[in-house]
Homo-oligomer: A and B are copies of this chain.
Amino acid sequence: MSGQANTLMPLPVAVHASQGEFAITPAVTLSLGEAHNSLLEAAARRMMERLQMQTGVALAHDPVAGVAAFNVSVADASATLPALGMDESYSLDVTSSGVALKAETIFGAMHGFETLLQLVQPEGAGFVLPAVHIDDAPRFAWRGLMIDSGRHFMPEDVVLRTLDGMAAVKLNVLHWHLSEDQGFRVESLKYPKLQGMGSNGDFYTQQQVREVVQYAAARGIRVVPEFDIPGHATSWLVGYPELASKAATYEVQTTFGVHDAALDPTRESTYMFLDGLFGEMAGLFPDEFFHIGGDESNGKDWNGNPKIVAFMREHSLKDSKALQAYFNLRVEAILKKHHRQMIGWDEVLHPDLPQSVVIHNWHGPEFVAEGVKQGHRVIYSQAFYLDHMTSSGEMYAADPVPVSLNLTPEEQKLVLGGEACMWSEHVTGFTIDSRIWPRMAAIAERMWSPATVRDTEDMYRRLAVESLRLDALGLTHISGPQRGLRMMAGSVRGAEELAVLTSTLQPVGFGERYRMQKTTQLTPMDSLIDFTSPDPLSAHQFGLLVAAYLQSKDATQKDALTKVFQHWVDASAALDAIAVDHPLVARYPVRREQLIQLGQMGLAALRYMDEKKAAPADWIAAQKALLAAAAKHAELVEFAVLKPLGSLVDAAAKP
């Protein structure tokens, strides 16, 4: 159980392989020992169902009494709601006679279940668990994913399946961004115009919120709601313009970016409203933390309102930052009354802010330093912006405790952990999975595993396996784009040809799309870019294949590369034919044309190397020109295979 056999993700703290294995047979049953509860029973049942699915072996799903092949023992099963700082550790012992899983809490045991499923390996005609002892516990207590249901609403089933994926990679916080300029997404019974007028009708009923919170808790995941104030709050003002800093009629925004609208922090009625709303929401969200956003409030509507300016003068608030600090203090008091600890984005950091407030970092790492130096606990997100389309490797290289900061051990302790952020300017419920997964798994490992776990190539190797596991769990990062390509190509076969093209591509970054497409909330999110995966594993694997071939000149690898290039050539030709009567395919002439050029380039490079003669200078020059052209942005997608291809051309240039 080491090297290539180890496909665990996130990697545990300690894995000690030994001799032997335990075979999965229909006789396998699971026992929960003395301390258990209904959440643990349900988790055990789900685990057995998934084990059955993985192995094709019919298994009894219900836990049995007494000693079984899988023995789970939990020290204390009294906690049924995950909380910050809960004990998530577990140990797992696999021997030839069975499995012992031990944990302090049911949530630790659930992590053990996930590790157990990841240990399953084929052996002969069946499947086994290799003998191993694992001791494991998370490096950070806060390991989250932020979902933005504000800019584009995410239907409940999307949220639920996301929670499945989160549990699989041992994440424990769903940060749910629930209000934005573009929509207020939770039903308030107290202030029904919030969702009634402040959304397009897409919001979560209180019943749905309860379902999500319960589903998450059953998987050891806390749900932290965010209601973004005082800015990013246009949707609140549609139904309740009396909260606004500027007398106006408001409409739900369809454009993105920073809007001027903001709550009026000078009126007592604003705080009464927040008290009422947050009290109601505290009844829906049991977690002790509550996120108030606080980002990107530009102060324009404050400075434009004489009454607010007068208030600032009166209270010696020298600028809008000081006024926001005043506002935050008031909001913090309200939350404290409702037994909630406040979280805010970097912008809430201010000398007057109580130390109990948690700073959520999204700007440069210097804000992390600033936050902990002022004694705040900090959550890190800066490098973990999934919407930026950064590669898994780049995000994996970042750290919630950036080494560059040289934090003291005491300061480091104030970093609770991190969160990946899935802002939804460019994401809908149909496309979100391929933006989160599998990259999220790499970030999850960064937040769970020891800081010393740093082998990016090994991460990619395991990520490819994890991606398939997440697919089997019901996430749609593979099936969704495939469906999208079928819609574009109008046939299963045509979609397969398009998939050859997208296997070489990735979406342009966030800013580029925003600028090029002039995106708003009404922009359709169903074109090639949306069915193209950021940092596609196919491209990474192509890179490895080229590197291996260049080192070994092995014939098998050459054949594999030839096949890849021939696929590109064939697919490009096939797509040209499809494009004739499929307008959605016809829209990408540049990348289709370049795909055949790149394929032919690869084939020719392989031929030159095969013939052991240097490629002629004019061919080299022509290829460099083609590579440079292919590197230019076009059609909102960029090639993810140019670097390895360039190195093949370089190699062909040498005799």
Contacts and interface: CB of A to CB of B under 8 A. Distances in A.
A56 B122 contact: no
Given A124-B583, A125-B583, A583-B125, A527 B58 contact: no
A53 B526 contact: yes
A118 interface: no
A207 interface: yes
Interface string A456-477: 0000000001001001100010
Given A492-B478, A522-B58, A487 B583 contact: no
Interface in A35-64: 52-58, 60
Interface in A106-140: 122, 124-127
A142 to B, nearest CB: 30
A157 interface: yes
Given A56-B527, A524-B58, A126 B471 contact: no
A143 B27 CA distance: 46
B582 A122 contact: yes
A301 to B, nearest CB: 28
A355 interface: no
A523 interface: yes
B468 A56 contact: no
Nearest to A127: B583
B478 A486 contact: yes
A52 B525 CA distance: 10
Contact of A122 (B476, B527, B581): B581
A482 interface: yes
A491 interface: yes
A130 to B, nearest CB: 14
Of the four ranges (under 10, 10 to 19, 20 to 34, 35 or more), the interface on chain A belongs to 35 or more
B468 A125 contact: no
Contacts of A56: 524, 526-527, 583-584, 587
A483 interface: yes
A472 B54 CA distance: 28
Contact of A468 (B127, B491, B527): B491
Interface string A430-469: 0000000000000000000000000000000000010010
Contacts of A157: 157
Contacts of A468: 486-487, 490-492
Interface in A157-205: 157
B479 A483 contact: yes
Interface in A52-86: 52-58, 60
Contacts of A52: 524, 526
A450 to B, nearest CB: 28
A58 B523 contact: yes
Contact of A486 (B127, B472, B486): B472
A550 interface: no
Interface string A522-542: 111011000000000000000
A573 interface: no
A144 B49 CA distance: 32
A17 interface: no
A483 B467 CA distance: 12
A209 interface: no
A575 to B, nearest CB: 15
A125 to B, nearest CB: 5
A52 B526 CA distance: 9
Nearest to A493: B538
Nearest to A584: B56
A586 interface: yes
Contacts of A207: 207
Listed residue (A57, A468, A587) with the most chain B CB atoms within 10 angstroms of its CB: A468
A124 B587 CA distance: 11
A140 to B, nearest CB: 31
Contacts of A496: 496
Interface in A495-526: 496, 522-524, 526
Contact of A471 (B483, B523, B527): B483
Contact of A53 (B482, B487, B492, B586): B487
Contacts of A126: 583
A54 B524 CA distance: 11
A487 B127 contact: no
Interface in A314-364: none
A126 B207 CA distance: 43
Nearest to A211: B207
11 contacts: A53-B524, A55-B584, A56-B587, A58-B523, A207-B207, A468-B492, A472-B486, A472-B487, A476-B479, A478-B486, A482-B482
10 closest A-B pairs by CB: A479-B479, A472-B487, A122-B583, A58-B524, A52-B524, A122-B581, A157-B157, A53-B526, A125-B583, A56-B584
Given A478-B486, A482-B482, 18 more contacts: A52-B526, A53-B524, A53-B526, A54-B487, A55-B583, A56-B526, A56-B584, A57-B524, A58-B524, A122-B581, A125-B583, A125-B586, A468-B486, A468-B491, A471-B486, A472-B486, A472-B487, A479-B482
